[in-house]
Structures are given as C-alpha cells and as structure tokens.
Chains A and B, each alone.
Chain A
Amino acid sequence: MTEHLPALQVVIPLMAAPLCALLRPGRIAWMLAMTACTLCLLIAALLLERVLAEGVISYAMGNWPAPWGIEYRIDTVNAYMLLLVTMIGAVVMAFARPTLEQRAHLSKRKQPWFYTTYLLCLTGLLGMIITGDAFNVFVFLEISSLSSYVLISIGRDRRALTAAYQYLIMGTIGATFILIGIGFLYVMTGTLNMLDLAARLPAVADTRTVRAAFAFLTIGISLKLALFPLHLWLPNAYAYAPSAVTAFLAATATKVAIYVMLRFFFTIFGAQFSFETMGLDAILLPLALAGIFSASVVAIFQTNVKRMLAYSSVAQIGYMILGISLVSVTGLTATISHLFNHALMKGTLFMALGCVSYQIGAVRLDRLAGIGRTMPWTMGAFVIGGLSLIGVPLTAGFVSKWLLILGALERGWWPVALLVLLTSLLAVIYIWRVVEVAYFRPAPEDRKIGEAPLVLLIPTWTLALANLYFGLDTSLNAGVARLAAQSLLGVTQ
C-alpha cells in the first residue's frame, strides 16, 4: 500500500471530485471532500517523512518504466511543496463550507459542484508538483487552471466574471507558451521525462530551438506566477473571488507556478544554462525589485482590503523571484521558505477577511471601522498574519526575511538588502492602515455585528498559530527548505 502513496496523492482528490458532484446535499459532499483533503495531507506528510529518511522516491505510473512511462518523482523540493499545498487545501476546505452556505451564496443544488471544482483544482496543483514528466506538468496545469477560472467566477460580485475572463485569457496564453516550450524541448531531445531531458539537453543546448523553448517557458510560467509586469490578472481575480477561493488560490496556485519555475530552471535546464548562458538572473532581479516596490506602493492606496492584499501578493512573489535571482543556496532557501511562509500569512489574512465579509458582507476599508472591538478574534488573527507579512520576529515571515537579506549580503548586494528592508516598511504602512481603522475608528451606531462563528475562526486561527509556530521552530521552513535548495542546485552538504 505505502509504495502507492505517490499515486494516491493525486488519485484520491481526482476520484473524490466526481463523487462529490453526485452527492446531495452539499454537507455530505463537503464531508467527502474534507476527508479527501485530510487524506491528502496525511499522505503528503508521510511522503515528506520518507523522502527525508530514504531519499528520492521514484514511482512508475501504471508500471511503465521511465523514461517511457510517466514517472512520479518525489525529492525534498516537491515533498515539501506537497505538504504545503495539502495543508492549505485542508484548512481552507474546512473554512469554505460556512461561507458558501451563508445567505444562499450558492444555491443548495450547486454547492456540491463547488467541492468538485475545488478538488479538481487541488488535483491539478498536486499533479504539477509530484510529476517527473514535463508534459504531465502541462496537463495538470490545465486541470488546475480551468477549475480555478470556475472557482473565481463563483464570486457573488458580478465583476468576478470579468476577472475570471481576464485570468482565463492570460492563463491560456501562459499555458500555451509553456506547451510550446515543452514541445520544442521534445523536438530537440525526443523525451519528456525531466531527468531524461536534463541529461540530453546539454548536448543540444546551443541551439536556437532550445533557447526559444527556454524563453517560451520563462514567459509562460511567469504569467502563471504573476511576475511583475505580467501580474495584471491577479488583483481582480483575488479581489472578486469568494473568500475561501482567494485564500486557497493565493496560498497555493502562484506557489506551485514558482515551483514549476524552479523545476524547469534548475532541474531540467540546470542552473548553469539558465543563469550563466542565458543570463536569466539579470532579467529576474530588476523585475522582482520593480514588482516588490511598485506593488507595495499600489497596495497602500487600495480601499478594498482584499485587493490590497492581492497587490501585496504580487510584491511577495517579487521576494521569491528575488531569492531565485540570487542563484545561491541561501537565496533559494529564502525562496522556498517564503513559498511556505507566505502561504501561511496570506492564508491567515484572506481567511480573516473572509470572516469579516461573512459578518458584515463587505471588505471595503471604511466598512471595517470598529471591528477590532466587535470581532476581536478575527482581527487578532489578521494582526498576526499582518505582522508575519511585515516580517516581525517570532512570526514565519521573519524567517524568510532573514534568509533573503542574508542571501543578498552574501552576494554583496547592499542596495538589494536595503530595498528589501525598506519595502517591508511599506508593508507596515498598508497593514497598519487596516489596523487603525479597525481599532481606532468607532463602529457605526446602527451596526450590530458580533464575532464570526467558531467554524470559521478555528481554521483561521489554525493558520495564524502556524505563523507563530513556524516563526520559532524553523526546522521545516528553513531546515527542509535548505535541503531542498541544495538538491536543486546539486550541492551536497
């Protein structure tokens, strides 16, 4: 049984998805989906444990040996990513049900479909992470993308429809570019298995086709991960999607895209080709810095708090790309650590906002007046998430900030280190705008709202406490992250 865990990781949510669609009422479907998510989390934890103890796991799908069949290949990097995605998937799934059932957001008949789509999205994300086959990445990418378009358009706000449409167009262009890139690679090497590709590429590396493939892949993946200036689809999509969907996508979808980037640049093309021959770091670094700075500034001027956090996500993606462009173990560790930490903080923040919108039906800044008093637990979680975003010590965000600055200083990049610190002060500004309104402005007299229900608070606080826990015990988000970075760069301890 345990040797089939890699397959089950993807098969369980994939099978549970259509079953959910058949079940009525929504609550039963939710129970099935929740069970599937929990099982996934369990499997991911077991896989990580096994990888750390025994090294890389290679699983031949349907017993067709690689490189002919599809290989699922799990090393430290993707075991870590699997844990991240399944963890967020399970927590947000617990959070999702009440927000859907409230005020007939989604008619009872349609609720099971939500869980189906959600599980499909999860399947896609997990598949992209676990697979060792380049074409398989594309297939799963499409599964997750198509389902995420649907998830976003479920938003009550009609603008969610245009936001989803925008994302659909941009996402399709991105996916197409990725497909073209993979196609070129296949033409040149005749293989799709990642390891096989890595072995055969150096022989043909100095051809225009491979370089074009590299360019197509870079742009395609950058679109999916919302690298500045290809991020335009993201703020609207996050702002108008239902709270649970925003929390899920913000914490996982872009992270998985960054993982795919790491896989292609480091495992398939190799750091030497990507950064020395193609000089990718010279492109990534300025884009990352511009993204961090501009998105942080734009975030300060948003009146919709969800939109504000969406811009903040663009800035945070910049930090991760910055870590990649350092091309060092510390830099990559910072990136991989921030993938995890950012998922925790943004998950907390978006879920806390979800609680707010559940209670008062809006997330405009001025509507938040006085909720620090009336919803102390919700805002408490928001403040913890915010502090983590700023990078205050004892929160997870501090860990990635520390690593990133260390990485920049190791390279002697003083201005970069200064800019990282400066922009984290911009985060202070936009987070504190919300805190001040929530705590200092009196609540309107006529509004009678109380704390969000416990079913929402428990998942929110689970992630909030995780922010604190992983700020102290960094064996996973810095220790394992470092191992992952070393394995990507091919450095042995």
Chain B
Amino acid sequence: MNPEALLLLALFIPLLSALFIAANDAHPNRRELATLLASLLLLGVVLSLLPVVASGARPTVDLFEFASGLPLRLSVEPLGMLFAAVAALLWPLNSLYSIGYMRGNQEQHQTRFYVCFAIAIASAIGIAFSGNLLTLFIFYETLTLSTYPLVTHKGNADAMRAGRLYLGILIGTSIGLLLLAIIWTGLIAGTLEFTPGGILAGKMEGPTVAILLALYMFGIGKAALMPFHRWLPAAMVAPTPVSALLHAVAVVKAGVFTVMKVVVYVFGIDFLAVTGASQWLIWVAALTLLLASIVALTKDNLKARLAYSTVSQLSYVVLGAALATSMGVIGGSMQIVMHAMGKITLFFCAGAIYTAAHKTEISQLDGLGRVMPFTFGAFLIGALSIIGLPPLGGSWSKWYLLMGAADTGQLVMIAVLIISSLLNVAYLLPIVGRGFFAPTPAHDPDTAHHPDPHPASTADNQHATAGSPPPDGNRIHEAPLACVVPLCLTAFGCVLLFFYADPLYELLATIVRTTP
C-alpha cells in the first residue's frame, strides 16, 4: 500500500471506529472489540509508515482547500512520526486497561467514553501528521473538544468546574493567542507550511520575534507552561485511563509536540539562536519545571501529584526547544517519548490502586506494595525512568538535555536540571517506599470506619461493600488482569527504551541535520 493511503488510513481508522462504537451501544463486547481492533490496526499502519519516513520520504496528502494556497495537508516527518508512534503504541495498551478499569469500576456512559476516546486519538494522529499550521490548529481544537466529555465524564459539580477550567484555558489560549500567532505568521511568511529550517528567517527581526514566540508558547496551552498549567491538575477528575493516555500522553504531548514543531519548522533553531528570541523562554521553562516539582511535593492525592509532575516534565521539552541547539531539540523530542512511557505507567498504577483498593491519597498507601507487588514494582520502574536513572529510557532524554544546556553554556540550566531530578526523587520515590516498607495500618481503618474523604466516594463505597473482602496482611490482591498486564508492559517498555534509544536518536538527528 502506498504511504499516502496509509496516512489517510491512520486518520480514518480511529474516526471510523468511533462510528462503529457509537452504533454498538447495546453490545459492550462488540464495542470493546472494535476499540481493540482499531487500536491494533492503527498501530500496524503507523508502524508501517516508520521505515518510509526513516528512509527520508515525506508522504503528503491534501484533503481540502481551505483558502487559495492553504490546504488541509497531512504530511509525515520524523518528529510527527515519533509522536504518532507513541500515541498509536500506547492506545492498544490503554484500551485494554480502559476495559479493565471501566468495567471494574462500573462507570456510566461507557459508549460515549470510547467514542470520544477514538476521536481524541484521531485528533492526536492528525496533529502528528499535520503538514501546516492550519491543519495542526484544526486538530488541536478537535482534541480539546473531544476530550471535554472525557474530563467531565462523572457529570457532577466537580467535573463541571474542572471542565470549565479545562475548556476555558485551552480554548482561551488557543483562540486568543495561538490563532493570532498563526495568522500573523501567515501574513509575514506568506506560507504556513512546516519547512525544515523555518519559514520566518529573514522575514522579521528584533523584539517582534520574541513576541511572536511568546504568542505561540502561551497560546499552546496544552504544553502547560506556567501560568497556563491549571487545566492539567483540574483534568484529573477524569477516569484514570483518560488521565493516563490523554493527560500524560496524547493531549499534553500534543502541546509540547506543537512547541517543538513550531520551534524547529516555523522559527528554525538557527534563527532563534541568532536572534536570541528564545532566551526568556528558557527561564520560564526552568521556573515551571522547578515550581511544579515543588507543588507536586505538597500534594497528597496521587493523581494530583502525578499531574504536577507532568507539568514539570513537560517543561523539559519546552526547555529543550528553547535552548535552540540540536542537542536540546533531540533531548526535548526524546523526552516526549520517554516521559510518555514512564508517566502512563505511573497513571496505570494509580488507576490499578484505585480499582483494587479504592485508595486515592498517598498517605493511605502504607504497606499496599506488599499486597500489590506488580503494580508497585511497575510504579518503581516508571518513577525511576521519569527521574532519569539508567538503565531506563528516561536517562537518555535527560542526558541530551544536559548536553544541550552545556552546548549553550547555560550553567544555571545544568543546575536546574540536576535540582529538578532530585526533586523528582523526593516526590516519586516515597510513594513506592510507603507501599513496600511502611507497616500496614491495623485493620484498614480508612475504608472500614471513616467515610472516604474523596469526592468519588459513592461508587467506592458500594463497591467496597459489595466487592471482595478487605485485603488482610500480605495476601496478594491485585487489580483485574486487564489493568495489571498493560502496566507491566509499559514498565517493561521503559527498560526497552534504554537499550533501543539509538534508532530514536538517528531518526531525530535527521530533523536537525536537514537544517541548512
């Protein structure tokens, strides 16, 4: 099959599966089968595009002519290929996990959930393969809108408030700033095409470059650069599979991917390096990186802590882009992959803990590691990868970022990266420590006596009374298999990425090498 057809398939498989899922509202098994099949099919299609791109081809398809000379264009290049591969690789795992989680927790409106999920994946693929800024913007907005029903899935007042924040910040920044930046770019450069080396060099100069960059960076709210990060912790009211795939992978990575794409293909790193327009961004990214880590330390709710950790880790990517060196870009892009694998593991674990033991707070996890050894073992691996220790994938991205910082002589940034790694240790490892080494609280006082303090309590209580007996002592009591298998796989993936980082490097090196 020719690559152009594959490209279209990649976009339409999830869309068509959404239709099929919607049509099978009454048949949960058929519906779930559709999700799984579509995700595997998508994975196959995306992976078969990989060699094509690695060999240097850039398949391109035009869908519609939006205005004269401004088509909706799909096109594949290494960076987008990487993002699409991450999304496509994690969708099947996450689908399996979703089925375990949604059924295990007897969630409502499961059909709507899977439909929106498939549309969100299609949007993420669309973002990854967009050939110009307009196409990217269109899918960027579809992604926001299709994830809104997922964030507000519970349908209660909390969900509604979170949804407001989510939509308010994401739509506000994208329409208010990003759209303006895109139209301005089109006006100056005369094109919106992603071009190696950028399209703005020589067309503008002085402080306006920094202003345009600021419009982009704050306009891409999904990158969660402070002060526009609040939507991400708010989005944690969503069911955990949503937090896992969308708010650790698809949505936030769409944000930082867009940042990378804009820096590499619209501004061009040489242009940024020469004008120094991204200097301020280094500092904003560093600040976000540190502050978010510190906030994460103070959070007792597991998902909230992971959310702030995500905010902090996203800024690594922005930092890599802002350094405007080839090492920075490679390190930042690699961070997209490495963090995705690590963070989805952590979220899977958080969801597994919720499904099996109905615990949401870190302070409730004492001794739980001995009951759920697989889950906590995977959590440890994911955490170590995020911290950046070998032999786990995360170490590579941190390494290249450090090299990038060293290249530009930003000694302060080296210090920032090291301090941040220490902070990561401080907020991630105690969770595992509690699980494995803290004594089990006598007779599980949390669920037995107090009503659960967490808002999601009604479902819990019903389940706790109707479900399995409370785990006593060290008897192993894991979440359903459909939850545990994916998280073990992604943890294993973190290890694999350490040993197979080389092809990634090679692929990414081409995008900076083609820069004239």
Contacts and interface: CB of A to CB of B under 8 A. Distances in A.
A440 B155 CA distance: 6
Given A402-B183, A405-B180, A393 B67 contact: no
B180 A418 contact: yes
Contacts of B155: 439-440
B138 A410 contact: no
A428 interface: yes
Residue from the set A393, A428, A475, A478 with the largest chain B CB neighbour count within 10 Å: A393
B142 interface: yes
B187 A410 contact: yes
Interface string B370-398: 00000000000000000000000000000
Contacts of A417: 180, 183
Given A392-B145, A428-B168, A421 B176 contact: yes
Nearest to A372: B155
Contacts of A155: none
Given A392-B141, A394-B138, A424 B160 contact: no
A410 B190 CA distance: 12
Contacts of B67: 402, 474, 478
Contacts of B152: 439-440
B137 interface: yes
Interface in B146-172: 152, 155-157, 159-160, 163-164, 167-168, 171-172
Interface in B91-139: 137-138
Nearest to A420: B180
B103 to A, nearest CB: 23
Contacts of B414: none
A472 B138 CA distance: 11
Contacts of B68: 479
B175 interface: yes
A423 to B, nearest CB: 10
Nearest to A424: B175
A428 B164 CA distance: 10
Given A402-B183, A418-B180, A425 B137 contact: no
Interface in B464-503: none
A425 B66 contact: no
B172 A405 contact: no
A477 B378 CA distance: 54
Contacts of B137: 393
B180 A421 contact: yes
Nearest to A474: B66
A475 B176 contact: no
B14 to A, nearest CB: 16
Nearest to B176: A421
Given A410-B187, A475-B65, A421 B175 contact: yes
Interface in B433-485: none
B504 interface: no
Contact of B171 (A405, A409, A425): A425
Interface centre among A390, A402, A406, A478 (most CB of B within 10 A): A402
Interface in A390-423: 390-394, 399, 401-402, 405-406, 409-410, 417-418, 421-422
Given A428-B171, A432-B167, A421 B179 contact: yes
A422 B138 CA distance: 19
Interface in A117-170: none
B138 A432 contact: no
A101 interface: no
Contact of B167 (A421, A428, A440, A479): A428
B172 to A, nearest CB: 6
Contact of B175 (A391, A473, A479): A391
B480 to A, nearest CB: 30
A432 B175 CA distance: 16
A153 B168 CA distance: 39
A387 interface: yes
A381 B5 CA distance: 32
Given A406-B187, A425-B175, A428-B171, A387 B145 contact: yes
B167 A406 contact: no
Nearest to A333: B67
A184 B150 CA distance: 62
B141 A393 contact: yes
B220 to A, nearest CB: 15
A425 B176 contact: yes
A384 to B, nearest CB: 11
B283 interface: no
B138 A409 contact: no
B184 interface: yes
A486 B177 CA distance: 30
Contacts of B156: 440
Contacts of B163: 436
Nearest to A473: B64
Nearest to B149: A439
Contacts of B167: 428, 432
A409 B182 CA distance: 11
Contacts of A436: 160, 163-164
Contacts of A391: 175
A440 B160 CA distance: 7
B276 interface: no
B17 to A, nearest CB: 19
A38 to B, nearest CB: 29
Contacts of A475: 65
Contact of B186 (A399, A406, A474, A479): A406
A173 B152 CA distance: 50
A390 B180 CA distance: 15
Interface string B180-196: 10011011000000000
Interface in A426-445: 428, 432, 436, 439-440
Contacts of A410: 187
Nearest to A387: B145
Contacts of B179: 401-402, 405, 421
A55 to B, nearest CB: 21
Contact of A394 (B142, B172, B186): B142
B160 A422 contact: no
Contacts of B160: 436, 440
Nearest to A427: B175
A405 B183 contact: yes
A475 B65 CA distance: 8
Contacts of A387: 145
A405 B145 CA distance: 22
B237 to A, nearest CB: 13
Nearest to B67: A478
A399 B138 CA distance: 12
B235 to A, nearest CB: 16
B133 to A, nearest CB: 11
Contacts of B142: 393-394
A394 B15 CA distance: 15
A394 to B, nearest CB: 6
Contacts of A406: 183, 186-187
A319 to B, nearest CB: 14
A409 B179 CA distance: 12
A366 B469 CA distance: 44
Of B66, B152, B171, B172, which is in contact with the most chain A CB atoms at under 10 Å from its CB?
B66
A200 B68 CA distance: 37
Given A393-B138, A425-B175, A428-B167, 4 more contacts: A392-B141, A393-B141, A428-B175, A432-B164
12 contacts: A390-B171, A392-B145, A393-B142, A401-B179, A409-B184, A410-B187, A421-B179, A432-B164, A436-B164, A440-B160, A474-B66, A478-B67
Shortest beta-carbon contacts, A-B, top 5: A393-B138, A440-B160, A393-B141, A421-B176, A405-B183
Interface of B: 64-68, 72, 137-138, 141-142, 145, 152, 155-157, 159-160, 163-164, 167-168, 171-172, 175-177, 179-180, 183-184, 186-187
